[in-house]
Amino acid sequence: MTPNPQKSGGNFTRKQLAVLFAILGIVLAIVIISVSILRSPHQPAPISAAPSPTPSPSPTSNPVSPLIFGTNMSLLASATTDQMLDSPATQQALQQIHVQMIRMPVRPGVPETIEIKAAQAIKKIGAVPLVILNGPLVPDPLAVDRRVVQDMQQVFGNTTVYYEFGNEEDLQGVPMQRYTASWNAIIPQLKQIDPKAHFIGPVSYKYDRTNLTAFLQQTHPQPNEISWHEYVCGYKSQAAPCTAGIDAWTDHIRDARDAMQQTIGRTLPIMITEWNYAPDLNVLPNGHVTTNDGKHDNAAFMSAWTEKALQTLAANRVFASMQYAATNTPLPLIGLDDSITPQGAAFQRMYQHIITNKQAPPPAT
């Protein structure tokens, strides 16, 4: 008897069940196909144009390094102490103007205890240490340099310490072949004492492409960074050429990068480890200079000159630079009374402008 569909109460015939299973099978097949299509990787049609290559890192495309806001410690051999070591007010003033790196000399005649005290002052200020090692002008430089590196390890621990090998040896008539021979004999031994340390040369008194090229060709191991000094005029010069002379720094930095690329196939970070407008001003024990040149005590000149110098270093994206010098010199950042000088105030303003407020100049071209 064929059941009445209106009275079936939910019971199905075999025929109806067969139809129902067929429909369910079709639906299931559609779902499976749809899921497989969605899960299969589907790439858009390739574009005929080749993708742009990833640009190689360029020194001029990097952010400005805060280490351009560095300075030198005087630590004169003729003095029994140094203002930076003994004056908490000076240390606080250096922190206030945002000194980031301090270059410390190791001079014949300065006791080891004073050198350690100087390193501790750098650590207290919170600056990155750069220490000047003895070069070929000093008898048995390895013995002194080994002691210095060991002392710095005791003070700075796991902090990276930067070391320059010698200081303006070219100004003293040391040929580059002698300088690099001394480097090759001493630096590998110092690296064994502190493998994380950075070693820097040739520390020339001015930029010299010939010297730099010879240094890069002859040194083993190669330096971590290269360095030279920049002064633009003598104290007898008029103010205008002293300011205009800063423009040559861009040419020197550009040429150094080209020399490195041509010589070793890459560019190393650049450090200008002394800079100011004149290297030949002398200072008396009372802090006064021997000759009034009309510039060192001219606040407007010192401010404008310092601002242009730091803008130029920033635009050229040098890795680090050190004004000469923090204290006890004719051109200090901090005066003998612990006050911030016009150059120190300009230094502070430029740090706040370039680093704190991120108003960096465009890269030099």
Q: Note the pLDDT of residue 127.
A: 98
Q: Note the pLDDT of residue 292.
A: 81
Beta-carbon neighbour count of residue 222 at 10 Å? 18
Q: Note the pLDDT of residue 13.
A: 47
Q: Is residue 340 part of a domain?
A: yes
Query: At 276, phi and psi to the nearest 5?
Result: -175, -175
Q: Is residue 52 part of a domain?
A: no
Number of domains the chain is built from:
1
Note down the domain range covering 339: 62-356
Mean pLDDT over each residue of the chain, to the nearest integer: 87
Q: Note the pLDDT of residue 10.
A: 41
Q: Is residue 264 part of a domain?
A: yes
Q: Note the pLDDT of residue 49.
A: 34
Is the confidence at residue 297, as pLDDT, over 60?
yes
Per-residue confidence band for 24, with pLDDT thresholds at 50, 70 and 90: low
Q: Is residue 130 part of a domain?
A: yes
Q: What is the largest CA-CA distance in the chain?
A: 131
Give the whole-angstrom CA distance, residue 115 versus residue 149. Answer: 11
- % the chain with pLDDT above 90: 76
Summarize the confidence of residues 163-187 as an average pLDDT.
Answer: 98
Q: Is residue 35 part of a domain?
A: no
Give the whole-angstrom CA distance, residue 192 versus residue 190. Answer: 5
Give the global pTM: 0.83
Q: Note the pLDDT of residue 286.
A: 59
Q: Is residue 14 part of a domain?
A: no
Closest among 70, 69, 74, 68 to 327, alpha carbons compared: 74
Q: Note the pLDDT of residue 59.
A: 54
Least confident of 14-23, 180-189, 225-234: 14-23
Query: At 31, phi and psi to the nearest 5?
Result: -65, -45
Alpha-carbon separation of residue 238 from 143, 234, 298 (angstroms): 45, 9, 12
Give the whole-angstrom CA distance, residue 275 versus residue 309. Answer: 9
For every residue of 118-170, DSSP letters joined together read HHHHHHHHTPEEEEEE--TTSSSHHHHHHHHHHHHHHHHTTS--EEEESSSGG
Closest among 254, 272, 252, 362 to 311, alpha carbons compared: 362
> Which residues have a Cβ under 8 Å from the Cβ of 120 and sit 6 or more positions away?
155
**CATH number of the domain within which 270 lies:** 3.20.20.80
Q: Note the pLDDT of residue 48.
A: 33
Q: Note the pLDDT of residue 290.
A: 73
Closest among 117, 70, 353 to 229, alpha carbons compared: 70
- Look at the block and give the residue holding tokens 């100004």: 171
Q: Note the pLDDT of residue 289.
A: 76
Is the confidence at residue 164, as pLDDT, over 70?
yes
Q: Is residue 40 part of a domain?
A: no
Highest-scoring range by mean pLDDT, 38-52, 71-85, 237-251: 237-251
Least confident of 95-109, 173-187, 282-296: 282-296
Q: How far is CA 299 from the centre of its chain?
A: 28
Give the whole-angstrom CA distance, residue 12 versus residue 271. Answer: 91
| Length of the chain, in residues | 365
Q: Is residue 231 part of a domain?
A: yes
User: Looking at residue 34, what DSSP letter applies?
Assistant: H
